[in-house]
Amino acid sequence: MKNLQNFKVTKISKLSHDEKKELIEAKVLDISREIFATRGFKSFSLEGLASLSGLSLKDITYIFPDEKSVYWKVFSEEARLFYDQLFLEIQGRENWMDTLKSMFYFSIRYMYQRPLARKIIFPFGIDSPVMGIKQSQFNKKAKTYELPVKQYLEQLFDRELFPGHSSLFVEVIFDFLRGIMAKLDEGQEIDVLLKETDYFLNLVM
């Protein structure tokens, strides 16, 4: 696994409280992100993390008491970054069609460039990073970060398309987004996915 041995071991005892916490968290999250995306949650352990990071188990549990706390921190950081940028991307577009096109195009390009983030935010299949985490817990957590984008789309569709009935259409949009991410995960080329997106948008016009 690449990049997991590239950290210099720092003497934790010489750092201030805040510096210690910041260093531990940065190392833990960088290494854990790749483990979750390439091996999955079931292959993750705090003991293995300590060995890879050069940190002691005590140092790690000082901030992260268990494996799930690390997982949710990694997921939360990736999901927040993606959905915050997506929200900024779709705001103020000319109409609902332009908004959806911007949403899909941005998501495809963003996730193509960030395969680790894609596997963590949009896990698929029996080898997905979320295996070992209850699906209901994952869905609840994901909805927290999806919500601002969904609410924005619902308000837009209420004004321009389906007054009072936009929530179902928003779920259709997100189902299509997840499907596109699954194809990206399978190695589908960007230009093909963009054409599929255009076809889908033409259908819903």
For the chain, the domains span: 12-65, 75-204
pTM: 0.84
Distance of CA 172 to the CA centre of its chain: 19
Could you tell me where the DSSP H helices lie in the chain? 17-38, 46-53, 57-61, 67-90, 96-113, 115-121, 135-160, 166-185, 190-204
For 87-96, what is each residue's pLDDT tens digit?
Answer: 999 998 989 9
CA distance 163 to 40: 42
Nearest-angstrom CA–CA distance, 163 and 14: 61
Q: How far apart are CA 9 and CA 53, in angstroms?
A: 8
φ, ψ of residue 155 to 5 degrees: the values are: -65, -40
User: Mean pLDDT across the chain, nearest whole number?
Assistant: 87
Q: Do domains 12-65 and 75-204 have the same CATH topology?
A: no
Decide if 90 contacts 177 (C-beta within 8 A). Answer: no
Strand boundaries in 6-129, DSSP class E: none
% residues pLDDT > 90 (the chain): 63
CATH class of the region 12-65: mainly alpha
Q: Is the pLDDT of residue 170 over 60?
A: yes
3-state secondary structure of 192: helix
CATH number corresponding to 75-204:
1.10.357
Contact 80, 120 (CB under 8 A): no
